[in-house]
Amino acid sequence: MKKDKFWKNKNVLITGVAGFVGSNLAKNLSYNGANIIGLTKSKKIDSLLFFENIDKKINLIFGDITDKELLKTIFNKFNIEICFHLAAQAEVGIANKYPYTTWESNIRGTYTLFEVIRQNKKIIKAVVVASSDKAYGNYPISLLPYKENYKLKPEFPYDTSKACADMIAFSYSTKLFKIPVIITRFSNIYGPGQLNFSTLITDAIRSCILNKKFNMRSNGLAIRDFVYIDDIIDLYKILSKNLYSNPKKFSGQIFNAGTNLKHKVKDIIKKIFTYGKKIKEYKKLEKTMHKNKTTGEIPAQFMDYKKLNLYFGWKPKYSFEKTLPKLFKWYKSFLKR
């Protein structure tokens, strides 16, 4: 893979660096010569960052995103030029159980970070904020895919936390503070290196590989869009580089990203079980899944990428079906080790 000279010696902060996306982003940018400063709350054993020794190639700092003094130290010591704000409590189920801690991390963490950035805005050239499609809330399927100009209508705790963080980030991009900010709202991201096995795709693949029972938590009728991690890393690089070079044009912009394909959850599981040669197990699962009930979940969500394509010519390169062989190969290797 050819190195991108833009990143050489750039000082880049990634909050939530031990997460799935953060680990993959740190891996890519460190390969391209960036000086990565990564913030994570604790040493997660179940993180790609440590599994592939990416932590040895970056400046890793343990601490909380709400710790203002720690953030000040990071910005003063490392002269941060580009920041990817990925730190968040990202699980819907946990947010429904523990809304307070979710709001502390996702909302307080965001305004704490931006207050520190505001005091260092002479150095910072680009801030990319990871929001979520869930910030839009529940729209009828007839109005989907979500558009960037849709009003945010969150209802549940996680959705509310992301919508609040969005509005805070946007406020700092306005004429009052003039911080160069782009807000991203992406569909469900999947791919190698996702070691949270409570997520749908990883749990189903592990079930197939290890011949273990798959715990179906819903009736499978929810509609979702799934976008591959390599597409997302490519997109983060495009957005941050353009914001860095032309803040007047791009600051305050919101970009959705997905594949514009809607999948029923049960169809995604079926594709995984079919590829894993477990179709009999899927048919047994299908007989009972309609009995499952979920609360605190939006029934239909999917994105298009029209605005991204218009601005940058971006479109996803990977389809779910074509990534399955690579996914199975990676998780087989991981689970053996």
Indicate which residues carry an active-site annotation: 158
Q: Enter the DSSP assignment of 207.
A: H
Backbone angles phi and psi of 11, in degrees to 5: -90, 110
Tokens (6 digits) for 70: 């720690």
Residue at token pair 């807000």: 183
> CA torsion sign, 159 to 161 to 167 to 170?
negative
The β-bridge partners of 256 are 185
- CA dihedral of residues 220, 132, 14, 167 (deg, nearest 10): -160
Tokens (6 digits) for 118: 């505001």
> CA torsion sign, 309 to 311 to 313 to 318?
negative
Three-class secondary structure of residue 329 per DSSP: helix
Q: What type of residue is 238?
A: I
Residue at token pair 């963080």: 165
Q: How many CB atoms lie within 10 A of CB 122?
A: 6
- What DSSP letter does each residue of 263-327 carry, written as one string? EEHHHHHHHHHHHTT-HHHHHHHHHHGGG----S--SB--B--HHHHHHH-------HHHHHHHH
Q: Within 13 Å, how many C-alpha atoms sit on residue 186's CB side?
A: 22
